[in-house]
Amino acid sequence: MKIAFIGDNSIQFLMNKFSSICPDCLMYEGLYNSIDSEILSVTGNFYKFEPDVVVIHESYFTYQDNYYSLKDDWNKFHFSSQKSQRIIDLFLFLKSNLPNVKLIYPLIHEYDDSIYGTYSLKFKKSLLYHIRKHNNILIEFALCNDDFFLIHPINYKDATLNNSNNLYFNADLHFTLDYINFLSSRIYQIVNSLNAQMIKCVVLDLDNTLWGGIVGEDGPMGIKISGQGEGKFYRKFQLWLRQLKDRGIILVICSKNDEHIAKEPFEINGEMILKLDDFALFIANWENKADNIRLIKETLNIGFDSILFIDDNPAEREIVAQKLPMVVVPNLPDDFTDSLDYLIRMNYFEVRTISDNDKNRTEQYRSEYERIKLKSKYTSIDDFLKSLKMTAICSQFTEVDAERISQLTLRSNQFNLRTIRYSKSDILNILTLKTFITCSVKLSDNFGDHGLVAIAIIKLNDDGGAFLDTLLMSCRVLKRGVEDYLLNKIVIELKNKSINTLTGEYLPTSKNGLVNNFFIDHGFNFSSKKNTYILQIDKFKTINNYINESTN
């Protein structure tokens, strides 16, 4: 099983936990905060990994940030519709490229920011209103899409940070570890249900399994099937089995009895919930049960692993389990009246696809979606990048930005070619020196202002060349072409200064594998002498990107 995790928060915690409960799964870690670009880059590592299951994990903190960054009312009003439609679009895009993929999406936590006091749900501009609407739209969508799975945080009460703000502000931990444990076990259950053979048939014993007592001794009217005590359990058990049968699970009797004695209770005891025609097969003889189950398998033409065998007698269970190891044989509790709880808890009857019954009910939803045309609006990563309407300003370092620039050099590990750290005073020093060219990029898009996200420091050599001392980018804006935009700017700057060559160097660390091909991908030539990469400025071709100059 191959599972890809992508999210807008630190998903390593979720992956760590998940790998401890499902060590056999292969996992892919999406780039930080790159849900859209991971799914839309069909040539990227995500698609090379070929995931069977994709988990998209969005945090309500990010949801809140995005909402707060909106300025005009129209965008605020449509926020949840657009946000939820985006997930649906991504799902459809994913399906069009990986037809068998399943998507797991934990719903956003309901969270009230108290802006509207107690009346949040009476205001269409409240955050809580939008979170609820977002979740509801996705719930409706999931009803008619078998491969779209939701996890409801409602089942987990202590889901919010719960006083862990110290770790959110310092380390971008959006959830408590308890909640992350809950989420990973839910994901595991879903993944397991995808792998498991579904139970199609329940094979049942009669005496002390479907009723209390032994029909051959107590008689068809003497067995316990109603009233208080054991009889009450057997009544409840039969009612539950009838629900299973109505859902489409096949019931079969396999009992060591004479057939006419075994059938008597069904024929003359009016308290019996199950009737003879509730069973697809009725086998009562003195053969061993393993042989009888072989016969059942042949007759119904199903696999052994889709048969569940229920018998109160541990010896019978043992024989079947030994002779037919594929058959599912629950190890029922000693007190058989605990068995129903046990079977419910074990959750043997996973519904992977929607059954015919459910399908009719969901047909109306489906046609509704067809009307609004169920089609992904994205066709490529380029469409997505265009839709972001990104604008940027590129400028030299300024004193005001020195603190932020220093922070970026200290904290950026992934998109960082040489990982040179600079203090604030180093930066203040560099910007006074004539031997350095500096560039900083501030980026905005239709989700708001990202601030200063990328920088370059270029050292001018005496020989008319230049050395790329630092080029780095915040992981918040990976895969959007910011580096292409920045390199274009650098080249223009170098041309203005009549510099012919730019030399680059890649210093590998455990975290910057992302950029190991940066130079080759951007037209630099490798020079084995000094292990550097050289760009001839006059041969550089401007790199296409979707970032426009900011007009502000």
Residues that bind other proteins (CB under 8 A): 12-13, 16, 163, 165-167, 169-171, 173, 177
Cβ count near 518 (within 10 Å): 18
Nearer Cβ to other proteins, position 173 or 250? 173
Nearer Cβ to other proteins, position 173 or 320? 173
From the CB of 177, what's the least distance to other proteins, in Å? 6
Amino acid identity, position 537: I
Nearer Cβ to other proteins, position 10 or 532? 10
Query: Would strands 525-527 and 532-536 be described as parallel, antiparallel, or unpaired?
Result: antiparallel
Nearer Cβ to other proteins, position 171 or 268? 171
Written as six digits, the tokens of 255 are: 């009992």
Nearer Cβ to other proteins, position 15 or 90? 15
Burial grade of 280 (CB within 10 A; 0-12, 13-18, 19 or more): middle
From the CB of 58, what's the least distance to other proteins, in Å? 20
Nearer Cβ to other proteins, position 166 or 322? 166
From the CB of 529, what's the least distance to other proteins, in Å? 33
Q: What is the CA radius of gyration of the chain?
A: 32
Nearer Cβ to other proteins, position 96 or 166? 166
From the CB of 284, what's the least distance to other proteins, in Å? 57
From the CB of 162, what's the least distance to other proteins, in Å? 11
How far, in Å, CA of 539 to CA of 542, rounded? 10
The residue to which tokens 């940066």 are assigned: 518
From the CB of 338, what's the least distance to other proteins, in Å? 35
How far is the CA of 525 from the CAs of 491, 503, 533, 537, 540, in angstroms? 16, 9, 5, 12, 11
b/e per residue 6-19 (b: at least 16 CB within 10 A): bbbbbbebbbebbe
Nearer Cβ to other proteins, position 16 or 288? 16
Nearer Cβ to other proteins, position 341 or 403? 403
Written as six digits, the tokens of 399 are: 């004193």
How far, in Å, CA of 179 to CA of 175, rounded? 6
Nearer Cβ to other proteins, position 165 or 185? 165
From the CB of 84, what's the least distance to other proteins, in Å? 31
In 83-204, where do the E strands start and end? 102-106, 148-151, 201-204
**In contact, 251 and 202? CB cutoff 8 Å:** yes
From the CB of 425, what's the least distance to other proteins, in Å? 18
Nearer Cβ to other proteins, position 162 or 185? 162
From the CB of 102, what's the least distance to other proteins, in Å? 27
Written as six digits, the tokens of 208 are: 């002390």
How far, in Å, CA of 167 to CA of 8, rounded? 16
Cβ count near 108 (within 10 Å): 22
Summary count for the chain: helices (H), strands (E): 21, 17
Amino acid identity, position 452: L
The alpha carbon of 304 is separated from its chain's Cα centroid by a whole number of angstroms, namely 32
Nearest to 265 by CA among 280, 254, 276: 276
From the CB of 174, what's the least distance to other proteins, in Å? 12
Q: Which helix (H) or strand (E) holds 463?
A: none
How far, in Å, CA of 132 to CA of 463, rounded? 63
How far, in Å, CA of 392 to CA of 115, rounded? 32
Nearest to 505 by CA among 416, 405, 413: 416
From the CB of 161, what's the least distance to other proteins, in Å? 12
Nearer Cβ to other proteins, position 14 or 441? 14
Nearer Cβ to other proteins, position 15 or 103? 15
How far, in Å, CA of 320 to CA of 309, rounded? 8
Query: Would strands 436-445 and 448-460 be described as parallel, antiparallel, or unpaired?
Result: antiparallel
From the CB of 424, what's the least distance to other proteins, in Å? 16
From the CB of 180, what's the least distance to other proteins, in Å? 11
Query: Would strands 307-310 and 390-395 be described as parallel, antiparallel, or unpaired?
Result: unpaired
- Alpha helices, DSSP H only, in 50-110? 60-68, 73-77, 79-97
